[in-house]
Structure 1
Amino acid sequence: MYGAVVLFVFMCSTATTYADHHQPCHSPNMTGWMSVLSLKGGVRALGAFTYDSMGKKLRFRSNESYPVNTSLGLDLLIFFEEGIFYEIDSKNQSCEKKKLQMFLHPLDIPDDAKFLSTMNIGSASIEGEGLKVNVWTGSIPHMKGDYSMSFTMGCLPLTALYFTETTSLIFSNIEIELEIKDPDLLVVPPFCHGQPVEDTPEGTVNSFLNEFM
């Protein structure tokens, strides 16, 4: 896994196909599975996601109905437009409501991302054995890091790599369907209603990415 990531990063860093006219696309509504791996070793999380591209809402639930041991059990409901998110504990009927400081996430290309290149995963010469993707890069000022994201030509997110001073993560998406299969997942649970926004300790950056650090 580590070798494949290093190869991918090397290919991105040495690509020569640049085009200023490329503008970041924006992902459609989606349901699928997301895995999060640390390049230091180990699966950080694996779970289902539901993404509302128009409403800019994301639900991610890890360690549910999947036979794998991971180090994190998360249930996150994020409202990017409102700048808040909920950490939900359905078992105990409780939640924490927090302010969102950083809006970067692996399911959509940031507006200020830079187009790096168009690449073929697999083989471009064998029918049915290749996939053309666009690669986008950018910086993460809050974390003193950088990212690289690959999307299909139809703007479906495949992988996102985040490199910071303290850690490096790779997000991968599979089994993507172009629909919101359960809209109720994007609704705040009744036991979270009226929950006050918690104070953010000085120096803390709340974001989707930070939940996996």
Structure 2
Amino acid sequence: MKALLGLCSVFLLVLLALTGGCSAQMPHRCRTPPLLSGSMSVSARDGEDWAVVKYRYDAFGQRIRLWEFGQVQSKSFHVNMLFLFRESVVYTISYRNRTCQKNPLQASFHPSHIPHNASLLSQVVLGGSSAPGEGLLVNTWTGDVPQTGGKYLATVTEFGCIPVSTLYYTEKTGWIVTTYFNAVKGIEDPEQFIPPSFCSDADTEDEELDFFSAFL
């Protein structure tokens, strides 16, 4: 298992947080900004498995870059992955060894958004609401993921549709909790989506991966 984030096709789309209530105008389903940089933490199996991830998300070019470290089944890991959906390929990159594994990517790119069939659970303020700047207004949505038989709680900011966190469940994975932080609109260095030169000689592996199996 290369990492825990196997949910990333739901990657920036399914999110969680729960606390006391507040209401402004009626919340609406939204799309995450098409260019986004940030980090997230993921835990599963009651915290026994965990990962911390830096990500770059490009909906225009249909590309995702991930730098991850963590622990799975009591073993530590560090992995660097580049998903190029238009080219239908995923690279697993090791700069230390200057090696590159290249696998066919069978998944289609799905821009991060609150799905049309999601149901609003609540609109709340994270933090305080007694003065400006003390809290963050967020919307929590719930729904099912037919492709995996899973279900989720997803929270995004009311203004900007920035991912906050997710609670995702399937019988196979149990509960997986993802928390997003330090999000910034835009991509500082687009070259992060270009495979390093030593990947040009990499042979394509036989095993096809989707966004889930790349991590599991």
| TM-score, normalised by the number of residues in structure 1 | 0.72
Map 1:5-16 onto structure 2 (within 5 A): none
- 1:49 equivalenced with 2:48 (yes/no): no
Q: Give the match's secondary structure for 2:37.
A: strand
Structure 1: 5+ residue stretches without partners = 1-7, 12-16
- Structure 1 partner of 2:64: 58
Alignment pair present for 1:179 and 2:186: yes
Q: Structure 1 residue 212: deviation in Å?
A: 4.4
Pair 1:32 & 2:38 matched: yes
**Equivalent residue number for residue 129 of structure 1:** 134
Shift of 1:56: 2.2
Within the candidate set 100, 104, 128, 2:105 is matched to 100
- The aligned length equals 193
1:36–1:172 contact (8 Å) kept in structure 2:
yes
Instruction: Indicate the structure with greater helix content.
Output: 1
What is the letter of the counterpart of residue 67 of structure 2?
Answer: R
Render the CA deviation track for 1:55-102: whole Å, top value 9, x for unaligned. Answer: 1211111239xxxx9833221111234433211122222222223344
Equivalent positions of 1:1-213 (< 5 A) are: 22-42=28-48, 44-63=50-69, 71-102=76-107, 108-109=112-113, 111-112=115-116, 114-116=118-120, 117-152=122-157, 153-167=159-173, 168-193=175-200, 195-200=202-207, 206-207=210-211, 209-213=212-216
Q: Structure 1 residues 146 and 162 mapped into 2: Cα distance closer, same or farther (>3 Å)?
A: same
Indicate the residue corresponding to 1:5 in structure 2: none
TM-score (norm 2): 0.71
Q: Which has the higher contact order (CA 8 A, sep 6+)?
A: 2
Identity over the aligned pairs, expressed in percent?
31
